[in-house]
Chains A and B, each alone.
Chain A
């Protein structure tokens, strides 16, 4: 018995694909119909289908992420409304990709292709990871920090941030007018911030270079950075002292 999984967030489209498959490939048994990415991953794990039809844009996990995280190999057919992922999907080892609306004659070709293949090709994790990083989490500097301000969660534009400071298990996000908290460690933040704009000055502080008003030693000769619109100075550790030699 050949089994298949269909993941598509819109019910009518899911049912239509199922109906078309039933007509074109009566021997195929659809063992799971999923509404979103997480459900698809669970069904894939639990029932190990031979073939997976995955919509790329779905709530929860995208089709690409489902394929990447799947524990068992299956022949994957990606379905998308617009061929932004097509090439990458193929490079990642997908058997085929279908453009919405799905046409019966095109689906027949896919069925022929699936029937011709005996074994499921291994999904190329590296290519898929690249497809994911390129398309779903674009390689650009982060633009927002979603942080907690008491009971409220608020999006803070990265352009407004003056500095980040470690505080126990939190990271404090300081802007000219407020300060909020995130759980993301400073180390992870540092990797994603533009190093031209934000400088690490201490094990527990990253500051916006343009916001530095003054750098001077305190009574003990330790260097401190005074920031615009922030009352307290930020310690500069000896390891990062060299960055301020020219200032």
Chain B
């Protein structure tokens, strides 16, 4: 989070800039700091020099005395430079001394006031010199050309608004901007904090959803009921069930707390599924057998959570469980270039043509689509030898 006492030399975050800020070089820095002053100067100094030179040129051309230009020009330019620089430079000096907030504000306003006054004195001094020059030409009428006349119009307009120009050039607007800086920074910090909280909440929601799906209450209580009934009749199998449940919970629970969901690897998903299948095998009294084919490289690939477990649960509940007799579930994974293919096969009841709600599969499809777009796919089809094959392919960054 951005502290209010951040380094005065760093750029402001984008969100802090006012609506009009950002299009000039200097406004992306804190007002009245050295980088701000330098960049503002790059914009304002040429303007001051142009105004000074143009004023002198106007005088020289209309009087037809070009020898007047150099002395008048340097005086007018100096007055312009003093006007645009003094106040902001003093204010910058104040800020870098880092006085307490209230004192800083008072001193900055005083500095700008002083700067404006110095600027005014300098302009008056230059204009006195102009008056002094004019005394020599009291009898001579001005020779004003069309271009000079137009220029004069422009000058008159700016003289009409001269108070505004003077205050603007001397750092008046910058002062207003400066006074609002703290408020904008605070707003920005609050905004950022809110965004962080929101992101954390949505991450927590995701984690909770994963947890809920991995430790489904019905599954958990049914397993407990199973263990309870086995305790007296078949204590050894009860113990096996508890071991399998513990392994499964170990795979499902702690990782969720420590890891980010996006760090999930295929290895973990396979471990989780094998844990689940071990438990189901004990509960189904050995009716179920499990085969996993995935080498180390494939297992290390990143793979989102819940997808594989959904397919394996489907294979158990819709494939092996409804069909009497033994059943096998196979998890097969292979890397082919930058595509990871994971298949869950069963030799169970198979697919029945018609309409299927398939909420779990719909979630798998939606999750794949949101993570990988059209580069991922899910195919569920019957196998010639009976049962169902559910195949997922996802892109892997090589």
Contacts and interface: CB of A to CB of B under 8 A. Distances in A.
A217 interface: no
Contact of B226 (A10, A57, A140, A192): A10
B233 A100 contact: no
Interface string B195-236: 000000000000000000000011111101111111011100
B254 interface: no
B386 to A, nearest CB: 11
Contacts of B62: none
B13 interface: no
Given A10-B283, A81-B218, A148 B353 contact: yes
Interface stretch (B47-55, B108-116, B376-384): B376-384
Contacts of B365: 157, 159
Contact of B225 (A15, A102, A155): A102
Contacts of A219: none
A146 to B, nearest CB: 5
A207 to B, nearest CB: 18
Given A11-B285, A148-B353, A101 B224 contact: yes
Nearest to A147: B353
A192 B225 contact: no
Interface in B368-398: 378-382, 384
Given A144-B355, A144-B357, A153 B350 contact: yes
A182 interface: yes
Interface in B313-368: 321-322, 350-359, 361-362, 365
Nearest to A141: B357
A155 B229 contact: no
A183 B354 CA distance: 7
Contact of B353 (A17, A99, A182): A182
B221 A82 contact: yes
Contacts of B379: 154
Contacts of A154: 351, 379-382
A16 B228 contact: yes
A189 B355 contact: yes
Nearest to A182: B353
Contact of B362 (A60, A82, A143): A143
A144 B358 contact: yes
Nearest to A189: B355
A229 interface: no
**Most chain A beta-carbon contacts within 10 A, residue among B229, B233, B285:** B229
A15 to B, nearest CB: 6
Contacts, number: 121
A152 interface: yes
A26 interface: no
Contact of A12 (B234, B353, B359, B382): B234
Given A102-B225, A155-B380, A143 B233 contact: no
A153 B353 contact: yes
B384 A81 contact: no
Interface residues of A, number: 44
A146 B353 contact: yes
Contacts of B224: 100-101
A146 B356 contact: yes
A153 B218 contact: no
B282 to A, nearest CB: 11
Contacts of B384: 151-152
A125 interface: no
A153 B387 CA distance: 10
Contact of B355 (A80, A81, A142, A149): A142
Contacts of B218: 57, 80-82, 84
Given A60-B322, A144-B361, A10 B229 contact: yes
Given A60-B322, A100-B221, A100-B222, A13 B229 contact: yes
A9 B216 CA distance: 19
From A140, A143, A184, A189, name the one whose CB has the most chain B CB atoms within 10 angstroms. A143
A130 to B, nearest CB: 17
Given A12-B226, A100-B222, A101-B228, A144 B353 contact: no
Nearest to B318: A59
Most A CB atoms within 10 A — which of B225, B233, B322, B351? B225
A102 B282 CA distance: 20
Nearest to A137: B357
B352 A146 contact: yes
Given A100-B224, A146-B356, A155-B361, A12 B230 contact: yes
B353 A101 contact: no
B368 to A, nearest CB: 11
Given A81-B218, A81-B222, A15 B356 contact: no
Contacts of B352: 146, 153
A21 interface: no
A155 B359 CA distance: 13
A137 B359 CA distance: 10
Nearest to A57: B218
Nearest to A11: B285
Top 3 A-B pairs ranked by shortest CB distance? A100-B225, A16-B229, A81-B221
5 contacts: A10-B283, A100-B225, A146-B351, A155-B361, A182-B353
Given A10-B222, A153-B381, A155-B351, 9 more contacts: A12-B229, A12-B233, A16-B233, A101-B224, A145-B356, A146-B356, A154-B382, A182-B353, A184-B355
Interface of B: 217-222, 224-230, 232-234, 237, 283, 285, 321-322, 350-359, 361-362, 365, 378-382, 384
